[in-house]
Chains A and B, each alone.
Chain A
Amino acid sequence: MSATLPAELRLTHLQQLEAEAIGIMREVVAQCERPVMLYSIGKDSSVLLHLARKAFFPGKIPFPLLHVDTTWKFREMISFRQRMADEIGFELIVHTNAEGVAQGINPFDHGSKNYTDIMKTQALRQALDAGRFDAAFGGARRDEEKSRAKERVFSFRDAHHRWDPKNQRPELWNLYNGRVNQGESIRVFPMSNWTELDVWQYIHVEQIPIVPLYFAAERPVVERDGVLIMVDDDRFVFDEGEVAEQRLVRFRTLGCYPLSGAIESTAATLPEIIGEMLVATRSEREGRVIDFDQSGSMEQKKREGYF
């Protein structure tokens, strides 16, 4: 705002957020023995991946990426995941809860709550235990949801991956304490201070590849309780009288296709998406069915170890 700082030294808010995230990632690698990055293939994960490349340039990303595959992800997500692994060359771990698959757990018959618990929360715990990871990066942001406004950048989890809101470490300045005892771990959120708009803006500025599902296209959808669900493969269970119809839709968040709501949109470019966002009358998470289960439900899931 003032002229006291030479222009070449002034950092915009995006540059500050980027530098903060890079500093956090480097600190984790320096302090922790076995970090891992949770890679959900969504746009926030794409930004996180991009930040990791920047943080360790010219070196490679010094930790693996972990994708918890529920087997119900959009097909386009899986092909995008492969494309990124090929192009960027990171180590990719894909984990699926084999017991859940054996029991035939699916989002249609078992309800979003049970399904999410078994195929996501438990699966994540299994994968973290198997890898003996003491730090896991996630793309969560404080502006996403009320219970996250107070989340630490380094979020401490006990040996059972539980998050205790009363037992979090004070975090001052940029001094992060990543020390853990055997079995304990930290979840690290380098993008804590980013907003939804910052993420889209950054993707635009940095030309970061994202899954095409974020852009509007004609897709087969079914409307259920006002939510548009895409029929991504032939496992989709239609209710009586339901038929898929082609609509021009896009997704604001991506997860398991039966649990991800699409919005009707014509936005096929990033500026168009941002334009729609600027007049958004629906906040980002409305598309996520799981948040409606119970009041304070995200907080509840966090306590249980959901990311």
Chain B
Amino acid sequence: MAPEQTVGGAPAMSDVETYLTSHRQKDLLRLLTCGSVDDGKSTLIGRLLHDSQLIYEDVLASLEADSATHGSAGEGVDLALLMDGLRAEREQGITIDVAYRYFATARRTFIIADTPGHPQYTRNMATGASTCDLAVILIDARHGVLPQTKRHSYIASLLGIGQVVVAVNKMDLVGWSQDRFTEICEDYRSFAKPLGFGQPYFLPMSALLGDNVVDASGNLGWFDGPPLLEHLETVDIDASVELEHFRMPVQLVSRPDADFRGYAGTVASGVLRPGDEVVALPSGLGSAVERIATFDGDLDVAGPGRAVTVTLVDDIDVSRGDLLVTPGSEPQRAHDLDAMVVWMSETGAEPGSSYLLQTANTVSNCTIRNVRHRIDINTGAHEQAPGLGLNDIGHCVITSDRELAFDPYSANRATGSFVLVDRLTNATVAAGMIMGAASAWDRTPDAALVRQRSEISDAERAIRFGQQPCTILLTGLTAAGKSTLATALERELFDRGKVSIRLDGENVRMGISRDLGFSTQERSENLRRVSEVARLVNGQGLIAIAAMVAPDRDVRQRARDLVGVDRYVEVFVDTPIEVCRERDPHGLYAMADSGEIPRFPGVSADFDRPTDADLRVDTSTQDVDECIDAIVRMLTERGFLRGPSTP
């Protein structure tokens, strides 16, 4: 990892030529550093640049003058000052924006996006992360995993960074303790599991003293991994290049003369060759590639990141804003989007707020329909929020006036990202990552539809049936006993003269949900249909009993909202998974274990345990009668099992 610059002694010209040839072949790694001033982040970067000997002598000289006024290191050069740009910030002693730094080694060139770690600067970190392949997350060895560590990790994950280095810094201040390092690594692993980083690279380090930054550390003899720079030089960054699905947003139509009509743009993903068939969206018109033209001659092949001008065999109508794709691997199309939105403006947003939505290929008018929840980035918890304020991250439903062609952000950053722009000030107010088309939960019914009212009043129904309508959702793992309880409850209510309708998850899938599978989205849609049926049934004065796995807390919340909080009763059938596995009448757990059934709640997908259920029963310790007694008691207490209360 020999740093390429040597001070003193001009190299021979043959060396320069050799150097230029090798330098030309280097690739580029864009990385993000996250951590607070106190974590030693600026010191780390200063150290990387310094030890790579890329800090020119006179820049160092000017820093020495600066350190006298602003420095905090006491003596010597304060490496952190290298990273702080604007004068006002230098005087405040904090970094408040993304600063970009550049250096090269013999193997690679690097762009560092340096972002501050203060809680109020979520937007800066998101900005820095949006172009990076790798994140270095700094942890102060004395303090271990802090809320800010979680925050940094969450944002890095949200912005789709797949490679993470967890740098446990200031090891000198904990006596180079291996135990302390191991403890921090375990802490980090346990909270970061859901973030999808693959294998983070854990590294003990002292940026101030230079241990394990560029050179391996004698003080950390127990650690045998490569130091930071070597890791950065060798980490595989090609794996994240998307070669499967061709996408090219058309930026410009090039028509220099009557003979040439080309579409200029940068390949976002996939591979294009002359002769390949392409489809232009939104028109859906197809043609084949004639030439891939560039200033340096036509190309035989263009992959991700190439800026090209494509000509087509047929004269089809393509314009700026279109997306060229290959047939058979087309992106999704929708007006309604589910997206994670990072709010970046002092002026907040609320449902109903309208903006311009700018993607890689289009600008449209959009409205934020609702904020499903805001993310507490310190814990990852979902919280209810009326809107989004500066530095909030929220899961939103956004409706565009133009149909958008997109990929989920997790599959393609270029075609899954957008920014929101204020129409009056033209300011960029938010950044968004598309999760998918918003589900039917959010679809507004056609405005032309009119609800037909019944002539029978709720009171009349209550008198006739001797009950108040409600919906009982029995939720729990597969084989927890939900269907058994639903059937027994139906019997019990029937025997008491009550009128109910049973909506069993499995039965429903044999009919109205015959078209649905078991993905997260399809499970959600299944519960939506059952909830809609329950609502209709409740409207007729009947009690609905639904038995569904319903693994997703958010989706259950939506069911609760749809049915109405007053009518919704959630019963958590909390039978331990070991018992469920033993029962497993259809052998489903075995199939889930073998991978034959993917995304199986409790095995290969999450089951969000209800924390606010109206009742919890456990069929491993309670028999059916006990469970039914408890449910009926609760229904009675809430007044569902009697007619109208007479004044």
Contact = CB atoms under 8 A, between A and B. Distances in A.
B85 A4 contact: no
Nearest to B98: A150
A23 B266 contact: yes
Nearest to B306: A19
A193 B241 CA distance: 20
A9 B301 contact: yes
Contacts of A55: 264, 307
Contacts, number: 224
Contacts of A16: 27-28, 305
Given A149-B101, A205-B24, A1 B237 contact: yes
A146 interface: yes
B304 interface: yes
A216 B85 CA distance: 34
B452 interface: no
Contact of A8 (B13, B19, B255, B303): B303
A79 B14 CA distance: 33
A216 to B, nearest CB: 13
Nearest to A177: B428
A272 B14 CA distance: 10
B88 A165 contact: yes
B100 A149 contact: yes
Interface residues of B, number: 96
B85 A146 contact: yes
A147 B97 CA distance: 11
Interface string B286-322: 0000000111100011011111010000000000100
Contact of A173 (B84, B99, B131, B426): B131
A281 B56 contact: yes
Interface string B66-86: 000000000000000011111
Given A143-B102, A150-B97, A13 B360 contact: no
Interface in B1-54: 4-11, 13, 15-17, 19-20, 23-28
Interface residues of A, number: 74
B381 interface: no
Interface of B is mostly: mixed
A160 interface: no
Contacts of A179: 356, 421, 426
B296 to A, nearest CB: 8
Contact of B419 (A172, A193, A201, A286): A172
B557 interface: no
A13 B28 contact: yes
Residue of B85, B98, B256, B413 ringed by the most chain A CB atoms within 10 A: B85
B547 interface: no
B166 interface: no
A147 B431 contact: no
A17 B413 CA distance: 19
B307 A23 contact: yes
B395 interface: no
Given A193-B102, A272-B13, A296 B87 contact: yes
A301 interface: no
Contact of B85 (A6, A8, A147, A272): A147
Interface of B: 4-11, 13, 15-17, 19-20, 23-28, 56-59, 82-88, 90, 97-102, 104, 107-109, 111, 123, 126-127, 130-131, 233-239, 241, 243, 251-252, 254-256, 260, 262, 264-266, 271, 293-296, 300-301, 303-307, 309, 320, 344, 356, 358-360, 413-414, 417-419, 421, 426-428, 431
30 contacts: A1-B107, A1-B108, A1-B234, A1-B237, A5-B241, A8-B301, A10-B27, A10-B238, A13-B27, A13-B109, A15-B305, A16-B305, A19-B305, A26-B251, A56-B254, A57-B293, A58-B256, A59-B256, A149-B83, A165-B88, A170-B431, A172-B431, A179-B426, A181-B426, A193-B111, A201-B23, A271-B20, A274-B16, A276-B10, A279-B6
